Structure 1
């Protein structure tokens, strides 16, 4: 699969579709719907994106007691999206409950189950932040790899991590356990609030299974050209 996923981090549907209308072959795209636009438009935007033949990564980062997450995942499983997320820090029972709910929802709707991805550490988090604010005493790679193993053991299909940790995650889980990586920038781009940043070419070399790119495309003067440049770097592996 190895997609380049465009993060649709816009405030409303009008902005989303104005952006997408610039792309001539939308059925070849995969997009991320995150909290910002989902909280404005809800499931309606998923249906409209799917009507355009777009594959959707629904990134809501569920983190709650296992029962609540399971019931929420039943609802998300009905949506026919390609990927959904939970926080690995929610623990083994929560991750397993999320997978049960996801499978149940997709069965009820008669759709292909989404891949369940667990958030390890946000790419905006540095090792120093993790240790001082979360009181995690190990190094960042060890912490991320541990959460990936926890997710793998409890039914997740992959994780969200920095590409810098992909090799260790694959070695500690399995080669087909997905590592989907945000924190992607072109070499000339501002990293903004990201701490652990790599280019598309570096992500490919590090073993990434897919990259999530937002501002480097959505805020570019020519988003289609920026997307094509990222795609070329990504596929050069």
Structure 2
């Protein structure tokens, strides 16, 4: 059970769409929601200006670029993303401890140009669209939960502020990483919603109860006939527990 303010801060709305639709959604949610997610589809089409558009509407931005490259490139990319206004930025935990450390160095550098406001980093563990079979296809033989735990420990130990994991791993991650860790969970669906391409899912209230800090929801809000009403329904669910 959360306060209403905390519930609103807990929901990140995924704007996985074109600019005009994203702006329309942002306008309808401004004053209600606190966070939006700008992913690759939107950012690659519009560039840093889309982050500024969201900020002008009073919305903070989770820039979900899933950075994964050599450490030198990731340091520069993380710095640039931070200077573009990212409030939270995603990187891939599988990129190595050195890559995560360089991403942290990049956002630390940018903080000096942002009045000391540092972009927080979250490392992708195992994508919520993946199953045990998907992992085995790419040569990962550890049980899925163990792979999530391994990447989480590596990433947070190297400087990430937290991780991205499915709601099913949130409780274990909270126990392992402690109360200060930022645990962001996609794969959240209100009861009765279609699963889409997600595999490891949970309801919003269950994900928060399990230890998630923030929830990423896309289609249940953005494809609803009344996106603002759908968002308010999720806030009520979190408040009422």
Question: How high is the TM-score relative to the length of structure 1?
Answer: 0.94
Rounded to whole Å, the distance in 2 between the matches of 1:211 and 1:109 is 26
Equivalent-residue separation in structure 1 for 2:106 and 2:197 (angstroms): 33
In structure 2, the residue matched to 1:6 is 13
CA contact (8 A) 2:122 2:162 kept: yes
Contact 2:167 2:185 in 1 (8 A): yes
Equivalent in the alignment of 1:23: 29
Tell me the residue number matched to 2:153. Answer: 149
Give matches, 1:168-207, under 5 Å. 168-207=172-211
Q: Is the 8 A contact 1:78 1:108 kept in 2?
A: yes
Tell whether the 8 Å contact from 2:205 to 2:237 is kept in structure 1 after alignment: yes
Where does residue 220 of structure 2 map in the other structure?
216
**In the alignment, structure 1 residue 158 sits paired with structure 2 residue 178:** no
Cα distance in 1, alignment partners of residues 150 and 139 from structure 2: 15
> Retained in 1: the 8 A contact 2:27–2:57?
no
Structure 1 partner of 2:91 = 86
Identify which of structures 1 and 2 has the higher relative contact order when contacts are C-alpha pairs closer than 8 Å and 6+ apart.
2
Distance 1:4 1:229 in 2: 12
5+ residue gaps, structure 1, are none
| 1:88-133 deviations in Å (ceiling 9; x for gaps) | 00010000000001110121343511110000000000122112x1
Q: How many residues align?
A: 234
TM-score, structure 2 length as denominator? 0.93
Which digits, 9 at most, give the CA deviation of each residue in 1:62-106, with x for residues without a partner?
Answer: 000000000111111212321001000001000000000111012
Q: How big is the alpha-carbon RMSD for the aligned residues of Structure 1 and Structure 2?
A: 1.4
Q: Which blocks of at least 5 consecutive residues in structure 2 are unaligned? A: 1-5
